Structure 1
Amino acid sequence: MMLHKSDQTHFPKHFAPAVVVNAICLFLMFLCLSGVQSVTEPTFTLPHRGCYYAAWSTYRVGKARFLPRHIDASLCTIIYYAFGDIHLDTVGSANAIPSVQTTPKPTFGFLTKAGASPYFNASLSVMDSAMEIRYVRRSYPNIKLVLSVGGWGTVNSFNAIAASSELRKFFISSMISVVRQIGYDGLDISWEYPAKKDLQYATLLFSEIREQLNIEAQNSGKPRLIFTAAVTNTSIEGYNVAEMIKNLDLINIMAYDLHNPLMEPTETGHHSQLFPPLSNTSSTNVKDVVEGWEKAGAPKSKIVVGLATYGDTWNLTSPGSFGLGAPAAGHGPLGFYTRSPGYLAYYEICEKIRSGELLAITPPDIQTPYAHSANGKWWISYEDENSLRTKVRWVTGKGYGGIFVWDITFDDFFGNCGVKYPLLYAIKSELKV
């Protein structure tokens, strides 16, 4: 490693450098004779531009169908494949937790048996596209591929795994085997979310994963797998932050869905506002969420701020009331392509703005846009190119480790409203490697 001038070691005049050299030689000789191998740490391209890839986007219709070949890897330094499935088979258990599965059929997985555990076995599986993504290395050999495990709806499975020493052991072994098998560079845990009651077991899971990653690297002679986690934007009571920063390479803060129609159906709120509105300075915002992790002890270099490429929708109930905190009744209309309640992809949002169906506003206090329908019936909070540039400038000004997006498949990747990937290119313009 090259040292900067200010980092050069200066020995006191009375101290003989030869003594240091001899001591180092003896220490290295001891390591070789004892068979101890040091762990080769993973390397990163800085600053981080993480891109989560939602594998189920391949099942969307028409031009919104996203395939691995649609990934523009120049926009990312890390690609997170979302998600590796967690399956808990619960045959024969009165306290069984139902299996968590996704629609696509997995191509392979690793089955683990948990002996006396009430959960008969646990396995991790991934889908076809996890292997296909590796093609990006042809043009971008330094890009990192990370398998993200979990996601929304897997909290019960994580709770069960973390609380059982047997399940932790087999689960960790399975994850490492899968990541190596598919030729990826790392592992991301997306446990949404550990509660305060889970603190002890969550800490054990994270620490044991890191321990086993170190051991596997020593035994294989390969660089250690990258270890990251996607963490909550609300309470951090379920995390032992001091232990997490020892074990994780990066902490991906999900700084979006701060306000959403599922949790707050009766009034509108911006799901990713950088700052709180002047009318409600206690309103949850990105600045406070991220700085909360920093105050809890997370080093800036490991903090990665999540950015959204989608918007959250509400139905409006009061004619003429279109602002933040407007009366509402649940989520707005489904998107033509996404077909999911409560949100629209950016390619759906920009199309509605261009057609005049949505009227956009960017309040100067929150520095993030929202829009309401021309007929006054529904409302959406979202990000555009300008707000993301502003947010990235804030991230770099604070000295954080970088950003990630959820997710790459929601950006206008097919150029519905002009250029392809307008949001990700806006981010890249402010966060150059």
Structure 2
Amino acid sequence: MSVNMHQIFKVARRYHHLKVLFAIGGWENSQYFSLLTADYERRKIFINAILQVIRYYGFDGIDIDWEYPVTGGETEGLSVFVEMQLQMIFTFQSDRSNYVLLLRELRRRFTEYEVATRSDRKLIISFAGAAGQWTLDPGFDLNMLVRYADFVNVMTYDYFGAWRSKWGAHTGPPAPLYFSMPKNFSGKMTVDWTMKYYACKLLDTSKLNLGIPFYGRFWKNVGGSADGHDEMWRIAEPVNGEFQGGQIAWRDIPHQWDLSRTTFHNVSKTPYIWMMEKRIFLGFENELSVAYKLDYALQKNLGGLMFWSLDFDDDSDTLLKTATSKQMCGTSATTTLNYKCSPLKEKRWWTMADDEVCDKLAGMCGRSAPLYNGYYPVCDPDDPGYSCCGKYGYCGSGPESCDCEDCINYAADPMLLLKEPVKPSVEVRWFTSDASPEERNRCGIFAPKLADGTVAICNPDNDKAYCCSNAGYCGNSVHHCDCAGCINFRKTNTENPTDFTAPSLSRHVITDSNGRCGPKFPKLRSGRYAICDPNSPIAHCCSRAGYCGSGEAYCGCAECIDFKKNPHFTWTEPFNFTRYK
């Protein structure tokens, strides 16, 4: 037993409530999990080895630190793992289910051992939980894993760092508590988002430990602000294709950085140092940021805190003392879930990750947007960067997207996701917001046709655009709904039917002449002058200028022709305009 381990057990013997677990895996040592968990026999050997270590050293349990099932860690997730000796191929896609089997069989073996040894000590199982959705969704069946685990150490850190990938370009704190990123940044890169993800998946927070980094991350060769406003969010420039920087323990920061130049970011609740003259940036944790995280854990009824790592603290235990300055382990624990969880079980919003068309559709929302899997698209209530549907039909954040009269804030009230109708009440026969400028918000016989050649209507579910004006535009004003020739698609009477379609146009202007009529316009292919449709509620009159429409300018002038009154009128040559009654 090493000197350090001996000291740990010496302390544990003095404080009987202290439990000592050993961890297996880690960022640089997780590449073997896929093979070790691939079948029952391998898991059995692995579990027996774990139990042997526990018995030999007297540990109280184990922490499984698999980084990460399916996606990989330092060794990136590969499509297959080949074991040459047995000529077997294990797909990484089975990691998710094999992880559950590992914990289930580990718990069963621990229970057997406890019974066999008549021990009153229950061996502990914990696991390290990922922070990002791109890792959590494919690799972690949280509800099943937690059945067999006593707690989860959620690694709510390393959201930003000078990584070798393109994501290393953005400076920021390693563990921002709340969303504060510039526009077009994901809002899912915060401690709050990660803990909400776990809480809403499990509907319980008692087994969740919030991770706090006792270190900072720095960048070199840092350039301008990402949005021109916030000094914390900057863009680093690569050197030879890689971003320069690294990690520094809290205990070393005062010796290598000037703490007097610290700025505390009041939105993310994290400190940073920006040294323009050296083009270097440091994001880190200090007493204040740790205190905010402690308060957060208490407010959200979390199970506890986890630190990476204690040896990074200074000799005065500054950060540890802050983290333990308030009582978390009270006698009357509450199970109240202090998160607003989405009622949806499926995704109903457009994102950049959907398919090749998402450069155009990403972020569109509302009753004018193209449908997402048959639903009116909403905004992701869990992404504070894109949780509000603004008045122009795009998801975003800030007052312009969340606080305007027509804005919808799904984060503030996730139940708005269920506001009816969630699907169109009629067949979609209107131009959606991804249409061309010439088509968007147009309707009726004067508008461009839909792709199938039919006449566009207005969406009766759209509170802002359910009527078609006599000029062919959707809206909700009196000029769209109550004028002569206007059509209200929410009404079902015979004059304004909801299933409005264009009438037969075999001899009328609409098909061949694009809204023109009379001898001022070239003849149709039939050799006759185009007339206006006598059955149209909005275009049954030919104006003096030779356009079909309704109202006084089209029907009431001396040279106007009303084909509703005179459906059989035809022009003859030579023609002189006279009022026809």
- Compute the TM-score of the two structures, normalised by the length of structure 1: 0.63
Is 1:345 the counterpart of 2:249? The answer is yes
Structure 2 counterpart of 1:164, from 28, 35, 39: 39
Equivalent-residue separation in structure 1 for 2:273 and 2:326 (angstroms): 25
Provide the secondary structure at the position in 1 that maps to 2:182: coil
> Matched residues in 2 for 1:184 and 1:207: separation?
20
Residues 94-173 of structure 1: pairs in structure 2 closer than 5 A: 129-173=4-48
Equivalent residue, structure 1, for 2:237: 329
Which whole-Å CA distance do the structure 2 matches of 1:329 and 1:421 have between them? 36
Cα distance in 2 for residues equivalent to 1:170 and 1:292: 34
The structural deviation recorded for 1:317 is: 3.3
Shift of 1:374: 6.0
Equivalent residue number for residue 320 of structure 2: 424
Structure 1 spans left out of the alignment, 5+ residues: 1-106, 108-126, 332-339, 414-419
Output the CA distance in 2 between the equivalents of 1:364 and 1:391. 13
CA distance in 2, matches of 1:342, 1:404: 22
Structure number having the greater strand percentage:
1
Mark the CA change 1:229 to 1:214 in structure 2 (over 3 Å): closer, same or farther: same
**Is 1:257 matched with 2:153?**
no
Query: Is residue 285 of structure 1 aligned with residue 190 of structure 2?
Result: yes
Structure 1 position 210, deviation (Å): 1.1
Shift of 1:412: 0.8
Q: Cα distance 1:395–1:302, how it changes in 2: closer, same or farther (>3 A)? A: same
Q: Which amino acid aligns with 2:97?
A: Q
For residue 284 of structure 2, what is the amino acid of its counterpart?
A: Y
Equivalent residue of 1:403, what SS?
A: strand
SS in 1 for 2:325: helix
Deviation, 1:202, is 1.2
Equivalent position amino acid for 1:303 in 2: L
**Is 1:215 equivalent to 2:215 in the alignment?**
no
- Alignment partners' CA distance in 2, 1:320 and 1:251: 36
1:355–1:272 CA distance, 2 compared to 1 (3 A): closer
Query: Does the 8 Å CA contact 1:347/1:411 hold for their aligned counterparts?
Result: yes
Name the structure 2 match of 1:190: 65
**Distance (whole Å) between structure 2 residues aligned to residue 315 and residue 291 of structure 1:** 33
C-alpha root-mean-square deviation of aligned residues, in Å? 2.3
Q: What is the identity percentage for the equivalent residue pairs of Structure 1 and Structure 2? A: 25
Q: CA deviation at 1:349?
A: 1.4
Partner of 1:301: 206
* 1:423 partner letter: L
Residue 215 to residue 367, structure 1, CA distance change in 2 (3 Å): same
Distance 1:147 1:317 in 2: 39
SS at match of 1:274: coil
- Alignment partners' CA distance in 1, 2:113 and 2:245: 42
The answer to whether residue 309 in structure 2 is matched with residue 404 in structure 1 is: no
Q: Which has the higher contact order (CA 8 A, sep 6+)?
A: 1
1:365, distance to aligned residue in structure 2 (A): 0.9
Distance 1:142 1:408, change over 3 A: same
Tell me, yes or no, if the aligned pair for 2:223 and 2:237 is still in contact at 8 Å: no
SS in 2 for 1:369: strand
Task: Describe the superposition over 1:335-361 as per-residue Cα deviations: whole angstroms up to 9, x where unpaired.
Answer: xxxxx96100001113344575xx211
Structure 1 range deviating more: 269-278 or 394-403:
269-278
The 3 A distance-change label for structure 1 pair 253 and 131 is: same
Distance 1:161 1:317, change over 3 A: same
2:185 counterpart of 1:276: no
Distance 1:274 1:129 in 2: 33
Structure 1 residue 282 displacement after superposition: 3.1
Note if 1:315 corresponds to 2:212: no
Residue pair 1:245, 1:298 contacting (<8 A) in 2 also: no
Deviations 1:293-333 (A, max 9, x none): 111116211011000100111113326888333111369xx
Larger radius of gyration: 2
Distance 1:132 1:320 in 2: 47
Whether the aligned pair in 1 keeps the contact of 2:127 and 2:153 (CA below 8 Å) is yes
- Between the aligned partners of 1:240 and 1:429, the Cα distance in structure 2 is 34
